[in-house]
């Protein structure tokens, strides 16, 4: 069967090669920019570059090729993850300057020391800045911080700079692993974006994973949330079921005054099989927008079937807001709705089938229990006590079976289906599941057994049809 059918219509994915973390998300000189970790020669293990996509509207994306490659000693084994800071009026033409901060990864396999473990020996993590006035041409690279600059408690694992402006200064978060194998975050401050001084080290009260990757900060309505990706949490029944987790700590005050977080307050962003390393940015409209990596490093619960020439995608852009429970809700930005075709009503226990696996399903005013079943194999069920997402056919799910979360009420459900990517939003995005699936049937069949005020599906257009037209390989 051709794998072409799994190409996505409103999610960012590479034409060929491997994608992981979103990087450098921003709005710059009138366009949205999304970079991501990219390995062009996957499935060979190689290095990581930054691939670049742009969009006028967070829906129609264009592949602009590979922007940052490994070309200095300090990033020779990977242009690893990082963020964008747009400095208004700082470019030579008086316009905005794009500042990309990332980690240069170096692996010293021939380190003369015996017993190289790549944690305490055999590795370098350099924080690097590169700027651009147009998003096409890039400055020379400036190495800002090296391992010798980090606090003594840190192992060689320090990475993924998140830089933002607050109170007239610049701030940088870095994820780190300390000498007692505890995950932590470093906070640095700067006046010019080039010289950085440590401000604080943020720990959890009790150990919470051995390394925190990809830190981020969410600031909405005067509330700060520290996002991290802890590695090493044990799998539990209703939580922490992926290889590594992505979530956030709601803070009591400002991130700038925080040195301790309570690990019991950690909230996972997304309970699906394919979600990690999200980033947030604030756009011109003042919206806080999150995009995550919809994939996993797990080989045994694969989200890339044999023969597919590309691996993984990003989630759609999700607007963040604070819900009634004080936690963050995520909901697809309204721009996504521009891809909707004509509304098709869904009636209880009567199925609807359309030609392509691309739809936006909306169930509002849900009363009681029920289920939404896709292609007879993927069931999203509400039992009155929990929301359960289960595959009844391991063949299409790479051996995946079941995910569930306790839920005391279900008012609405929104499900985005994009050929091989599915995002499920319950209760206006208070609970989210993202997962890849690889349907084998030709028609897309949808059946809803919920009693609700409104139940419809919108077929979705292929908004990525021209995304790769001018794309360069590599
Ligand atoms: C998270 C991560 C980052 C790193 C990048 C390398 O998925 O491990 O910590 O910068 O991926 O691709």
Domain definitions of the chain by residue range: 17-334, 340-459
**Which structure tokens are listed for 362?**
């909306």
Ligand 1 atom 8: residue of nearest CA: 213
Distances in Å between the alpha carbon of 347 and those of 350, 353, 422, 423? 6, 12, 22, 22
Ligand 1 near 19 CB (within 6 A): no
CA distance 108 to 323: 47
**Ligand 1 center–CA 126 separation, angstroms:** 14
Atom number of ligand 1 nearest to Cα 160:
10
For a mutational test of ligand 1's pocket, the pick from 83, 276, 277, i.e. the residue with the most ligand atoms closer than 8 A to its C-beta, is 277
Asked whether the predicted pLDDT for residue 2 surpasses 80, the reply is no
Residues 272, 390: contact at Cβ < 8 Å? no
pLDDT (mean) for 296-322: 89
Residues 125/149, Cβ–Cβ less than 8 Å: no
Q: How far is CA 393 from CA 272, 398, 417, in A?
A: 17, 9, 18
Alpha carbon distance 442, 25 (integer Å) = 35
Q: How far is CA 211 from the centre of its chain?
A: 18
CA 22–ligand 1 middle distance (angstroms)? 10
Q: Specify the higher pLDDT residue, 399 or 319.
A: 319
Burial class (CB in 10 A: 0-12, 13-18, 19+), 465: exposed
Q: What is the pLDDT of residues 338-347, one digit of tens each?
A: 999 999 999 9
Q: Which residues contact 100 (CB under 8 A, 6 or more apart)?
A: 23, 24, 35, 50, 68, 82, 83, 84, 129, 130, 131, 132, 138
Model confidence, pTM: 0.97
Instruction: Give the Å distance between the CA of 81 and the centre of ligand 1.
Output: 6
* CA atoms of 303 and 400, how far apart (whole Å): 10
Q: Quick check: 359 and 444 in contact, CB under 8 A? A: yes
Predicted confidence at residue 471, as pLDDT, reads 67
Q: Is 48 near ligand 1, meaning CB less than 6 Å away?
A: yes
Residue 393: the pLDDT is 76
Distance of CA 100 from the midpoint of ligand 1 (Å):
16
Band (298; pLDDT cuts 50, 70, 90): confident
pLDDT mean over 177-187? 98
Instruction: For ligand 1, say whether the CB of 47 is within 6 Å of any of its atoms.
Output: no
From 38, 160, 174, mutation site for ligand 1 pocket: most ligand atoms within 8 A of C-beta: 160
Give Cβ neighbours of residue 134 (< 8 Å, ≥ 6 apart): 29
Q: What is the pLDDT of residue 303?
A: 81
Annotated catalytic residue, options 4, 21, 110, 402:
21
What mean pLDDT do residues 63-92 have? 97
Cβ–Cβ < 8 Å for 28, 84? yes
pLDDT of residue 114: 63
Which CATH code for domain 340-459? Answer: 2.60.120.560
Q: What is the pLDDT of residue 110?
A: 72
Whole-number mean pLDDT of the chain?
A: 94
State the Cα–Cα distance between residues 468 and 461, nearest whole angstrom: 16
* 277 within ligand 1 shell (Cβ under 6 A): yes
Per the rule left: phi > 0, alpha: psi between -120 and 50, beta: everything else, 326 is: left
Q: For residue 456, what pLDDT band results from cuts at 50, 70 and 90?
A: very high
CA of 183 to the centre of ligand 1 (A): 15
The residue-averaged pLDDT of 135-164 equals: 98
Distance (Å) of CA 257 to CA 171, 317, 395: 12, 30, 50
Specify the 3-state DSSP secondary structure of 429: coil
- pLDDT of 349 above 80: no
Specify the DSSP element, H or E, that contains 372.
Answer: strand 370-374
CA dist 150 and 177 (Å) reads: 11
**If you average pLDDT over residues 399-425, what whole number do you get?**
94
Q: Count of alpha carbons within 13 Å of 230, Cβ hemisphere only?
A: 25
Percent of the chain at pLDDT above 90?
Answer: 85
Does 189 have pLDDT greater than 90?
yes
Residue 418: CB partners within 8 Å, gap ≥ 6?
8, 9, 10, 11, 357, 358, 460
Mean per-residue pLDDT, 384-396: 87
Q: How many Cβ atoms are within 10 Å of 245's Cβ, its own excluded?
A: 23
Q: Is 105 in the pocket of ligand 1 (CB under 6 A)?
A: no
Please tell me which residue, 110 or 59, carries the higher pLDDT value: 59
Q: What is the pLDDT of residue 111?
A: 60
The number of the ligand 1 atom at minimal distance from the alpha carbon of 48 is 12
Average pLDDT over every residue of 131-148 = 98
- Report residue 372 as tokens: 């939404």
pLDDT band at 112 (very low <50, low <70, confident <90, very high): low
| Sign (positive or negative) of CA dihedral 106, 142, 134, 35 | positive
> What is the Cα–Cα distance from 455 to 223, expressed in whole angstroms?
35
Joined together, the tokens standing for residue 243 give 């290889």
Topology of the domain covering 17-334: Tachylectin-2; Chain A (2.115.10)
For residue 470, with 0-12 CB atoms within 10 Å meaning exposed, 13-18 middle and 19 or more buried, which class applies? Answer: exposed
Active site residue 21: yes
Residue nearest to ligand 1 atom 6, measured at CA:
80
Pocket test for ligand 1, best of 156, 159, 297 (most atoms within 8 A of CB): 159
Predicted pLDDT of residue 301? 64
- Percent of residues, the chain, with pLDDT higher than 70: 97
pLDDT of residue 64: 96
The answer to which of 111-115, 330-334, 390-394, 458-462 has the lowest mean pLDDT is 111-115
| 370-374 sheet: strands from edge to edge | 352-354, 444-448, 370-374, 378-382, 386-391, 402-406
- Given a cut of 90, whether residue 348 has pLDDT beyond it is no
Mean pLDDT of the region 295-315: 86
Distance CA 265, CA 208 (A): 11
User: Which of 80, 276, 295 to mutate for ligand 1's pocket (most ligand atoms within 8 Å of CB)?
Assistant: 80
Res 235: pLDDT:
86
| Ligand 1 atom showing the smallest separation from residue 102 Cα | 10
Quick one: pLDDT at residue 315? Answer: 98
Answer whether 246's CB lies under 8 Å from 227's CB: yes
**Cβ–ligand 1 contact at 245 (below 6 Å):** no
Has residue 31 got a pLDDT over 90? yes
Q: How would residue 453 be classed by pLDDT, with cut points 50, 70 and 90?
A: very high
């Amino acid at each position: 069967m051709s794998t072409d059918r799994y190409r996505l219509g409103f999610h960012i994915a590479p034409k060929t090669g491997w994608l992981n973390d979103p990087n450098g998300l921003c709005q710059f000189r009138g366009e949205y920019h999304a970079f991501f970790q990219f390995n062009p020669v996957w499935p060979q293990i190689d290095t990581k570059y930054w691939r670049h996509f742009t969009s006028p509207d967070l829906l129609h994306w264009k592949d602009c090729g590979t922007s940052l490659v490994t070309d200095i000693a300090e990033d020779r084994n990977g242009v690893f993850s990082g963020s964008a800071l747009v400095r208004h009026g700082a470019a030579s033409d008086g316009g905005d300057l794009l500042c990309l901060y990332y980690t240069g990864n170096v692996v010293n396999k021939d380190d003369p020391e015996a017993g190289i473990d790549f944690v305490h020996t055999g590795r370098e993590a350099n924080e690097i800045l590169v700027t651009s006035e147009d998003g096409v041409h890039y400055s020379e690279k400036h190495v800002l911080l090296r391992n010798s600059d980090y606090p003594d408690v840190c192992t060689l694992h320090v990475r993924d700079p998140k830089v933002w402006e607050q109170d007239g200064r610049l701030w940088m978060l870095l994820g780190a692993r300390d000498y007692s194998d505890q995950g932590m975050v470093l906070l640095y401050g700067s006046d010019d974006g080039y010289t950085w001084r440590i401000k604080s080290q943020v720990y959890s009260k009790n150990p919470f994973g051995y390394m925190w990757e990809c830190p981020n900060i969410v600031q909405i309505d005067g509330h700060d949330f520290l996002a991290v990706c802890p590695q090493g949490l044990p799998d539990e029944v209703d939580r922490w079921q992926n290889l590594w987790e992505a979530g956030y700590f709601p803070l009591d005050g400002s991130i700038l005054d925080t040195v301790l977080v309570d690990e019991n307050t950690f909230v996972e962003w997304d309970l699906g099989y394919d979600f990690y390393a999200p980033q947030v940015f604030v756009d011109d409209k003042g919206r806080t927008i999150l995009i995550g990596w919809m994939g996993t490093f797990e080989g045994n619960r694969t989200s890339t079937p044999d023969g597919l020439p590309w691996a993984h995608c990003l989630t759609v852009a999700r607007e963040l807001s604070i819900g009634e429970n004080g936690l963050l809700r995520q909901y697809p930005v309204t721009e996504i709705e521009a891809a909707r075709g004509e509304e098709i009503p869904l009636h209880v226990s009567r199925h609807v089938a359309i030609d392509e696996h691309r739809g936006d399903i909306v169930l509002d005013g849900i009363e009681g229990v029920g289920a939404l079943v896709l292609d007879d194999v993927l069931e999203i069920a509400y039992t009155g006590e929990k929301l359960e997402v289960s595959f009844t056919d391991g063949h299409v799910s790479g051996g995946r079976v079941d995910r569930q979360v306790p839920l005391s009420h279900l008012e609405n459900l929104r499900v985005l289906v994009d050929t091989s990517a599915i995002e499920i939003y319950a209760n206006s995005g208070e609970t989210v599941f993202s997962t890849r699936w690889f349907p084998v049937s030709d028609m897309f069949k949808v059946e809803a057994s919920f009693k609700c005020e409104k139940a419809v599906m919108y077929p979705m257009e292929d908004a990525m049809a021209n995304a790769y037209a001018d794309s360069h390989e590599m």
